[in-house]
Structure 1
Amino acid sequence: MERMKNLASQKPVVIFSKSSCCMCYTVETLFSDLGVNVTVYELDKDPKGREMEVVLAQLIGRKVPAVFIGGDLIGATDEVMTLHLGGKLVPLLKAAGALWV
């Protein structure tokens, strides 16, 4: 958990992902379309990825995607989309320094 917190706090938007996950791709595409430069850690390509997946499953009920904004865990796809559709994602991204619009 400590390693994930450290990685998540280094950039405004961090996504723990898997290269074969369609929901991960969807979330990454949303941020890209918004003009956000995200840092993606693909757990299936990380030697400690399995350990991180276990922690994420305990925290959010699923392994990936796990989205951190401003170092805070936002959640998975459902939480990100709920924020976006509710008009709360962009202000959160601005507050984290990920958007300057």
Structure 2
Amino acid sequence: MTIPIPKDDDVMKNMISRNAVAIVGMRDCCMVHVVEHLIHGFGARLTTYNIDEVDKMNALDQLGRIINGAGEDYKVSYKQLPLVFIGGKLFGGVDRVISSHVRSELIPSLKKAGAMWV
């Protein structure tokens, strides 16, 4: 399922935490599709949140606040996107997803988060 980024931090935080796997990336980004394809290939469920070009700066600021919690803002760059959240927590970007898959750590993370039942 693909959903636009909500404007409110609390709404976004709840959307990320309610989904076993949430991907946040730029609309029509090929790397979003790579991550989606990999995770779907395991039979895992996920939700993708798309950032439009118009809302890019606000969405990146919002993600920084969500990632860092109540403390200082963490600056998120569009170059770090897509970001993958597993079990409501930041898992990482494409490099972390791929390297975790190569090290056979991705599937256990997905199972632990309830994204797959195998």
Q: Normalised by the shorter chain, which TM-score bucket?
A: 0.7 to 0.9
Aligned residues: 100
Percent identical among aligned pairs is: 36
Q: Secondary structure at the match of 1:17?
A: strand
Q: Which amino acid letter does the alignment assign opposite residue 60 of structure 2?
A: E
Corresponding residue number in structure 2 for 1:50: 57
Partner of 2:98: 81
Unaligned ranges ≥5, structure 1: none
Q: Give 1:11 deviation, angstroms.
A: 0.8
Q: Say yes or no: does 1:72 pair with 2:81.
A: no
Shift of 1:9: 0.2
Q: Alpha carbon RMSD of aligned pairs, Å?
A: 2.4
| Bigger Rg, structure 1 or 2 | 2
Q: 1:59 to 1:81 in 2, by over 3 A?
A: same
Q: Which whole-Å CA distance do the structure 2 matches of 1:82 and 1:61 have between them?
A: 20
In the alignment, which residue of structure 1 is the partner of 2:3?
A: none
Question: Which residue does 1:13 correspond to in 2?
Answer: 21
Q: Is the Cα contact below 8 Å between 1:60 and 1:76 reproduced in 2?
A: no
- Normalised to the residue count of structure 2, the TM-score between the two structures is 0.72
Is the CA contact (8 Å cut-off) linking 1:60 and 1:75 kept in structure 2? Answer: no
